[in-house]
Structure 1
Amino acid sequence: MKKKLLKLLSLSVIVACTIATLSGCGSQKQASGNDEKVVNVFTWANYVPDSVIKEFQNKTGIKVNYSNFSTNEEMLTKLQAAKGAEYDVVICSDYIIEVMGKQKNILMQPIDKSKIPNYKNVDPRFLNQLYDKGNKYSIPYTLGSQIIVYNSEKVKIPIKGYKDLWNSTLKNSLVLVDDPRIVIGMTLKKLGYSMNETDSKKLAQAKEELKKLKPNVKVLNADTPHNSLINGDATVGFMYGSQASTAVKTNSKFKIVYPEEGMNAEEDNFIIPVKAPHKENAEKFINFMLDGKISNEATTINQYVNTNKAAKKFMSSSYLNDKAVFIPDSELNRAERFRDVGNAAKTYDLIWSEFKQQ
């Protein structure tokens, strides 16, 4: 009788342990989702400063896995390959958001702004743009623009706009940001056309114009084109204002030019991919980045135009007086924004490929 009772007790213990083990596995599996203390951020290199990432991690206990891309097109290719999974927060440009919004299988999910109370800090001037009316999928992070910067000691011709970059005296002297929309857009603007041109004849003209520019181009660099100016490999550059600012701070001989043909302005935005594995952590990260003090810290370091009205009270005089970063409203108001060029994107890719192989 005792042996039979012991067997029954042993069986009960085994069953109880099995249930407990299975329950533990279930909890562990659940913890690997939104409860996991991880957020996967995908954007350009150094776009979210290390100090800001550390502050977020210290405040929330959520580890940031940071991955980077060089162009919006590269980002889209990788996001498509992942089918809107793998990443939790992507920071990318306005026109590529417009492209994604038109796709049959949208790779972004609508953002629940009730989970992001600091959304109220975004300057209304940068909301409700054509690429995402009502900001259903996106929230502005910063605004970027490209400008000309040159070495005033070595360049002896006046530089006022894009057209001057074609001057034969600048042979083997230029560094350009390695981005098809930016460089082709600059060329179209030089010809008097829109940066978003889709007319095949005008794009053919731009292609021929780029061929004429190639002898002047020494370096194409997406992430650090300013280094070519600083180390003397190039004397003139066309790059993001943040990159130009770094060059100017290194040496006062570098001068900034707002192209007389008109600048480009592009808003970079937070989006959450449709299958983000840690959606709640993504919301926490975006909300943290929209805090006024944090927003100011980010743009002070990455040197982009700040789109956060709550950040203004924290801005330093050096940031406000940086011509490469704090671009006057008179320039921004006439700047052209990139748009989705539809099927013409294939033509842009072909032009760029031939240009780089030339």
Structure 2
Amino acid sequence: MGVILAVVGLLFGVKVGLDWQSSQQKSAARMTKNQDQTLTIFNWGDYIDPTLIHEFEQKTGYHVDYETFDSNEAMFTKIEQGGTRYDLAIPSDYMIQKMRAANLLEPLDYHELKDLQEYDPELMNQPFDPGNRYSLPYFWGTLGIVYNDQDVAADELKTWNDLWNPKWNQSVMLYDSARDVMGVGLASNDDDINSTNMSELLAAKGRLDALMPNVKAIVGDEIKMYMVQNEAKIAVDFSGDAQQMLAQNSHLHYVLPQGRGNMWFDNMVIPKTVRNKKAAYAFINFLADPTHAAKNAEYTGYSTPNVGAKQLLPAVVKNNPDFYPSQQTLKKLTVYQDLGLDWTTTYNDLYLEFKMNNHR
């Protein structure tokens, strides 16, 4: 009897083991299937028309997990740590250069890409990614000046140096970004905004200190709210943010200062941690469609790199030289480069000293 019970117990154990193994296999299969149908995107906040994500899901059957970051540095750290396996990310120019050097990006397979003819050739092959081996443009733009015509005349802000006019005491809001504010200081001295010359950087810091009496506040994204609500006369901000402000307040205008300045890019990349490369290419191709790209551009306010999409935009936007500058103007602008840890730290330290002076 004991032998019979032992055999029955053994057979029962085998059956339980097989059932558990089968359950685990089914669970793993479901997980793999879910991963195959999920696209994980890492992007800046409020930087895509949400209806496009829904449309993509409806059209392709993929589910989109959409996460956001508030700085290139935070994005880099999270991807480098590899905690979340992002399929697609949208870093900026200099950060793409840094990610390439850190071997964090997958080379693009051009056989998987569609509508490449829609990308403006003038916006391709940038120094941070020669030949676009690792990235394709998502949006691009400039750093400029927003002003309120109730307080500022159209001809009073033609160059960066006009910000130093004593007339603008406590009137200028700056976007809280070391690279951009230091860039304004360098450009005002007609120096390279990627300068690694210490005397030029100190001179830029000196220029910024001289600007301090005119600085009303140094803030982040809330700069848009302040300008829309007429709480400041002038702001240094990005062209896309400016477009959003202009849409909400008819007294606001954007100007791209003459001379040196910044032209920036946010590009789509596929991180090395990618799980669903097929879905990543599907999304890139979805956004390359001019109709989708135009819809995205109208939502965000940023300049589209898509030739067909630009033609679909309102004439008041696509024909505005401050948002779509001429090639002659663009040649005077510079894209940020990755300066390496030491020089990045120097920029940040000088900027922090400037900010501390603002709070005294």
| Number of equivalenced pairs | 352
SS at match of 2:140: strand
Tell me the residue number matched to 2:244.
246
SS at match of 1:264: strand
1:122 to 115, 119, 123: 119
Matched, 1:150 2:147: yes
Change over 3 Å in CA distance of 1:126–1:215 after alignment to 2: same
Quote the Cα distance in structure 1 between the aligned partners of 2:127 and 2:343: 19
Q: Provide TM-score, normalisation by structure 2.
A: 0.87
Shift of 1:309: 2.5
Tell me the residue number matched to 2:136.
139
Quote the Cα distance in structure 2 between the aligned partners of 1:11 and 1:73: 53
Change over 3 Å in CA distance of 1:137–1:19 after alignment to 2: same
Deviations 1:69-123 (A, max 9, x none): 333233223333x2484322111211111122223xx121222222222334322
Change over 3 Å in CA distance of 1:166–1:74 after alignment to 2: farther
Shift of 1:145: 0.8
Tell me the residue number matched to 1:179.
177
Shift of 1:271: 0.8
Residues 183 and 261, structure 2, Cα contact 8 Å, conserved in 1: no
Quote the Cα distance in structure 2 between the aligned partners of 1:9 and 1:282: 47
Matched, 1:201 2:191: no
Deviations 1:174-197 (A, max 9, x none): 122222111111110101100100
Residues 78 and 84, structure 2, Cα contact 8 Å, conserved in 1: no
Change over 3 Å in CA distance of 1:306–1:19 after alignment to 2: same
RMSD: 2.7
Tell me the residue number matched to 2:54.
54
Matched, 1:40 2:40: yes
Query: What letter is aligned with 1:153?
Result: Q
Quote the Cα distance in structure 1 between the aligned partners of 2:170 and 2:280: 45
Shift of 1:10: 7.1
Unpaired stretches in structure 1, ≥5 consecutive residues: none
Deviations 1:295-339 (A, max 9, x none): 111112212221112324433324323454333333223222212
Tell me the residue number matched to 1:341.
339
2:230 to 232, 237, 243: 232
Structure 1 stretch 315-324 or stretch 231-240: which is displaced more? 315-324
Matched, 1:98 2:100: no
Shift of 1:48: 1.2
Structure 1 stretch 300-309 or stretch 60-69: which is displaced more? 60-69
Residues 143 and 304, structure 1, Cα contact 8 Å, conserved in 2: yes
Quote the Cα distance in structure 2 between the aligned partners of 1:102 and 1:344: 16
Shift of 1:230: 1.5
Change over 3 Å in CA distance of 1:22–1:230 after alignment to 2: closer
Change over 3 Å in CA distance of 1:72–1:8 after alignment to 2: closer
Residues 145 and 240, structure 1, Cα contact 8 Å, conserved in 2: yes
Change over 3 Å in CA distance of 1:84–1:90 after alignment to 2: farther
Query: What letter is aligned with 1:230?
Result: V
Structure 1 stretch 214-223 or stretch 133-142: which is displaced more? 214-223
Residues 281-320 of structure 1 mapped to structure 2, 5 A cutoff: 281-320=279-318
Tell me the residue number matched to 2:278.
280
SS at match of 1:48: coil
Shift of 1:202: 0.9
Query: What letter is aligned with 1:27?
Result: A
Shift of 1:354: 1.8
Quote the Cα distance in structure 1 between the aligned partners of 2:112 and 2:288: 12
Quote the Cα distance in structure 2 between the aligned partners of 1:26 and 1:66: 23
Matched, 1:78 2:78: yes
Identity, in percent, stands at 29
Quote the Cα distance in structure 1 between the aligned partners of 2:314 and 2:150: 30
Structure 1 stretch 296-305 or stretch 251-260: which is displaced more? 251-260
Quote the Cα distance in structure 2 between the aligned partners of 1:26 and 1:75: 29
SS at match of 1:43: strand
Quote the Cα distance in structure 2 between the aligned partners of 1:95 and 1:204: 22
Tell me the residue number matched to 2:168.
170
Q: Provide TM-score, normalisation by structure 1.
A: 0.88
Residues 144 and 304, structure 1, Cα contact 8 Å, conserved in 2: yes
Change over 3 Å in CA distance of 1:19–1:337 after alignment to 2: closer
Structure 1 stretch 295-304 or stretch 270-279: which is displaced more? 270-279
Change over 3 Å in CA distance of 1:25–1:258 after alignment to 2: closer
Shift of 1:129: 1.7
1:108 to 102, 105, 110: 105
Residues 171 and 214, structure 2, Cα contact 8 Å, conserved in 1: yes
Shift of 1:12: 8.2
Change over 3 Å in CA distance of 1:283–1:203 after alignment to 2: same
Deviations 1:220-274 (A, max 9, x none): 3332422211212210111111222223333333233221223311121001111
Change over 3 Å in CA distance of 1:9–1:325 after alignment to 2: same
1:261 to 241, 259, 262: 259
Query: What letter is aligned with 1:269?
Result: N
Unpaired stretches in structure 2, ≥5 consecutive residues: none
